């Protein structure tokens, strides 16, 4: 081999040797990287099951169960307005009587509203129970549980009058006598219709408190309020010169019921059974006494000493359960002081 050939062979060996060195370096470097990676590898976690997006939307068996079982949409009663408290408390008492057999109910109160609006809500399935004085027209539009709430006492009315004006009532003996005076009433009260029916002068207002201001200023002669509320309503308003008139009592047939959403036959049945249980075990009477104190209030009213003026009420339903003695409050009026239209 000449010198040129020997030179080429030397170069070839050098290239091969250099390539081997680079390859060795490459493998050494990879080995080092691999070692570092293994050393830094985090500890393996248990494998979680794969959950699809649709699985998240499926409720479990417990979520499908309505733990309440019974929901009741009723009016929210202000804690300081005892005129409506008895409706609310008696409703809840009666429904609770069936808790052991049917489970408890959850009550969902809504705002207190006018007479016409609450029955619109009831008929449009936005309320479940409403307590109200009944009428033939109302019963044609809503379904009552025919057990009187206030035991007929809505139709027993005493008069709130202005202090110093009591003398003008002392000589009243008949309905004609009373027609010389003007009553102040709310436009959608049942007693408003009763007074109209009996041709008695009235002034109406939409605001309850305004009636007392009108009386205090001499714009009306009296406000006829139910016997279970009249004394307390006067007591609550010391700012007015008003009092309960001591010689007259008005009386007309009146029945108030709970009206139930027609789409809730279950609730109607439960309320009916519960009310009967509350009457039988005496808890209804205990509740009425707790709220109104009738055992002292009725004697204090001295009904037997008052001139009784009976009024007609054609709107009162003819099928009221008058034969159920324990549905009604028995009052003693003076037989010698009765005037019937």
| SS3 call for 184 | strand
Taking residues 131-139, report their average pLDDT.
95
Measuring CA to CA, how many Å separate 294 from each of 89, 208, 281, 306, 328? 17, 24, 18, 18, 13
Confidence category of residue 116, pLDDT binned at 50, 70, 90: confident
Average confidence (pLDDT) over 110-128 = 92
pLDDT, tens only, 151-180: 999 999 999 999 999 999 999 999 999 999
Does the pLDDT at position 115 exceed 90?
no
pLDDT of residue 80: 76
% of the chain residues with pLDDT over 90? 72
Contact in structure between 189 and 292 (CB atoms under 8 Å): no
- Residue 208 burial by Cβ neighbours in a 10 Å radius (0-12, 13-18, 19+): middle
Query: Looking at the domain 66-151+255-292, which fold is it?
Result: D-Maltodextrin-Binding Protein; domain 2 (3.40.190)
Q: Do the beta carbons of residue 269 and residue 141 sit within 8 Å?
A: no
Q: Which residue, 158, 166, 122, 152, is CA-closest to 262?
A: 122
Mean pLDDT of 250-277: 97
- Tell me the C-alpha distance between 202 and 80, whole Å: 28
Q: pLDDT at position 78, please?
A: 83
Give the residue with greater pLDDT, 325 vs 53. Answer: 325
d(CA 282, CA 290): 12
pLDDT at 332: 87
Two tokens, residue 203: 């002034």
Greatest alpha-carbon pair distance for the chain in Å reads 162
Mean of per-residue pLDDT scores for the chain: 84
* 3-class SS of residue 165: coil
Q: Is residue 72 predicted with pLDDT exceeding 70?
A: yes
pLDDT at 147 over 90: yes
- Domain ranges, ordered by start, for the chain: 66-151+255-292
Output the CA–CA distances (angstroms, integers) from residue 8 to 5, 19, 22, 230, in the order listed: 5, 17, 21, 130
Residue that wins the pLDDT comparison between 241 and 7: 241
- The pLDDT value recorded for residue 12 is 47
Strand bridging mode 202-205 / 183-186: parallel
pLDDT bucket at 8, cuts 50 / 70 / 90: very low
**pTM metric for this prediction:** 0.77
Q: Looking at residues 200-208, what average pLDDT do you find?
A: 96
Give the pLDDT confidence score for residue 28 in this predicted structure: 45
Cα 174 to chain centroid distance, Å, stands at 41
3-state secondary structure of 263: coil
Residue 206 makes CB contacts below 8 A (sequence gap 6+) with: 186, 187
pLDDT confidence bin for 339, thresholds 50/70/90: low
Do the beta carbons of residue 246 and residue 161 sit within 8 Å?
A: no
pLDDT (average), residues 40-52: 40
Please state, as a whole number, how many other Cβ atoms lie within 10 Å of the Cβ of residue 244: 18
Nearest CA among 91, 36, 309, 285 for reference residue 183: 309
pLDDT in the model for residue 333: 87
Q: Is the Cβ–Cβ distance between 243 and 161 less than 8 Å?
A: yes
Please report, for residues 12, 104, 234, 245, the alpha-carbon distance to residue 296 in angstroms, rounded to integers and kept in the order given: 128, 34, 17, 18
Asked whether residue 70 carries a pLDDT value surpassing 50, the answer given is: yes
Residue bearing the bigger pLDDT, 171 or 12: 171
- Report, in this order, helix, strand and coil percent for the chain, each rounded to 5: 45, 15, 40
According to DSSP, residue 73 is labeled E
The per-residue pLDDT for 335 is 62
Tens digit of each residue's pLDDT (9 = 90 or more) over 292-336: 999 999 999 999 999 999 999 999 999 999 999 999 999 988 765
Q: Is the pLDDT of residue 186 over 60?
A: yes
């Amino acid at each position: 081999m000449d010198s040129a050939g020997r030179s080429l062979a030397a170069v070839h060996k050098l290239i091969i040797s250099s390539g081997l060195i680079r390859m060795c370096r490459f493998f050494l470097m990879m080995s080092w990287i691999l070692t570092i990676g293994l050393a830094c590898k985090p500890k393996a976690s248990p494998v979680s099951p794969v959950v699809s997006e649709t699985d998240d939307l499926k409720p479990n068996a417990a979520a499908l169960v309505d733990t309440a079982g019974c929901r009741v949409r009723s009016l929210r009663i202000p804690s300081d307005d005892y005129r409506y408290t008895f409706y609310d408390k008696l409703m809840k008492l009666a429904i609770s009587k069936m808790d052991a057999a049917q489970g408890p109910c959850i009550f969902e109160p809504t705002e207190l509203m006018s007479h016409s609006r609450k029955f619109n809500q009831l008929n449009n399935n936005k309320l479940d129970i409403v307590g109200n004085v009944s009428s033939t027209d109302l019963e044609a539009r809503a379904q009552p549980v025919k057990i009187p709430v206030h035991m007929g006492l809505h139709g027993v009315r005493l008069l709130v009058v202005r202090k110093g004006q009591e003398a003008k009532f002392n000589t009243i003996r008949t309905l004609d006598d009373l027609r010389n005076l003007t009553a102040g009433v709310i436009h959608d009260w049942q007693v408003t219709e009763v007074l109209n029916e009996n041709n008695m002068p009235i002034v109406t207002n939409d605001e309850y408190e305004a009636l007392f201001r009108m009386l205090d200023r001499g714009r009306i002669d009296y406000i006829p309020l139910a016997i279970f509320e009249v004394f307390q309503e006067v007591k609550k308003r010391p700012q007015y010169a008003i009092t309960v008139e001591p010689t007259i009592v008005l009386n007309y047939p009146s029945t108030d019921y709970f009206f139930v959403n027609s789409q809730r036959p279950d609730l109607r049945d439960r309320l009916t059974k519960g009310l009967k249980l509350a009457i039988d075990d005496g808890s209804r009477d205990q509740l009425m006494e707790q709220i109104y104190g009738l055992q002292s209030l009725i004697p204090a009213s001295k009904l037997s000493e008052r001139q009784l003026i009976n009024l007609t009420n054609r709107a009162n339903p003819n099928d009221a359960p008058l034969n159920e003695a324990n549905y009604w409050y028995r009052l003693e009026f003076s037989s010698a002081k009765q005037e019937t239209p």
